[in-house]
Amino acid sequence: MDFTVTILGSGAAVPTSRRNPSGQYIQCRNRHFLIDCGEGTQMQMRKFGVNFNRITHVFISHLHGDHFFGLVGLLSTMHLMGRVKAIHIYGPVGLKDIVLMQLEVAKGKLAFELIFREIAPEESTVLFEDEKVKVTCFPLVHKIPTSGFLIEEKERERKLLADKAKKDGVKREYFHRLKKGEDIVAEDGIMISHLEYTEAAEKPKSYAYCSDTAYSEKTIKFVEGVNYLYHEATFIELLRDRAVATKHSTAKDAALVAKEAHVGKLLMGHLSARYDTGEEHVLEAKETFPDSECVEDGQIIQIV
């Protein structure tokens, strides 16, 4: 469970009893992120057992309401629940003013710091990076400036073959260097090979979030080879006209990106309220990319 995505909202702009507007909680190597925050996201987090206080970074894709109307409410609730830890908020120009204006009229002051950073929507930029995880934004194609997000694990340390190391009397103080792939010449002159006492770690995993967007060839390079691709599929091909007019994707569009980018698996969401289930989407997508599914609110996806 080192890398999971919890779907807080799999619907489009009009919420239904089945699908809330957009929101995803990402837990990756003990880092905790929120991508988008439509109205009711805090209620969904409570419903699905997500701990508000763990979240350190929020990434807002664009300023259509179904992707951010829940943000100021979430921040207010964090305050009322005693949060003191700063929170980082990444989003388009304008988001900061909207949040601050609404907090201002309440004449209250949050007990924690809001650290805003504006996303330049035309660029691919690293937004977050530490020794274990990296988050990058990249441009999508929608009616207003919109960013996708790529969450990548970094290379893990090699795994120690602890039993063998102990049996052979390898000193504990060498373990850390061996895991980093160093060979060590011990005090007695004997070479200790990292290949003998460690094995390769799991390959790092990656997840990309593309919502909202029309189909675009330019997306492909940004999501090339990710393990899981979440791509909006507001419509199916029957409503291609609506997809074109509103700069959204069909299930086929999403599947095309998945196929061309050689991803591991396609997850579709942001379904229009007119669709009760995602069955038609899945049928349509599988014609182009077999490993396709539609997500549901509350679903927890393990990125493997």
Which residues of this protein are in contact with a copy of itself, per CB under 8 A?
13-17, 20-21, 39-40, 42-43, 46-47, 63-66, 69-70, 72-73, 76-77, 80-81, 92, 94-95, 97-98, 101-102, 105-108, 143-144
Catalytic (active-site) positions: 66
By C-beta, is 102 or 299 nearer to a copy of itself? 102
Torsion 209-215-216-220 (CA) sign: positive
- Least Å distance, CB 72 to a copy of itself, is 6
- Least Å distance, CB 231 to a copy of itself, is 22
By C-beta, is 121 or 208 nearer to a copy of itself? 121
Contact 180, 157 (CB under 8 A): yes
Note the helical H segments in the chain. 41-47, 71-80, 95-105, 162-167, 175-179, 194-197, 217-223, 240-246, 251-260, 279-288
Per-residue b or e along 12-37, where b marks 16 or more CB atoms closer than 10 Å to that residue's CB: bbebbeebbbbbbbbbbeebbbbbbb
Contacts 24+ apart (CB under 8 A), 103-109: 103/72, 103/75, 103/76, 106/76, 108/79
- Least Å distance, CB 288 to a copy of itself, is 29
By C-beta, is 70 or 269 nearer to a copy of itself? 70
- Least Å distance, CB 233 to a copy of itself, is 18
Residues with Cβ within 8 Å of 172's Cβ and at least 6 positions away in sequence, in order, are none
By C-beta, is 104 or 157 nearer to a copy of itself? 104
Cα radius of gyration (the chain)? 22
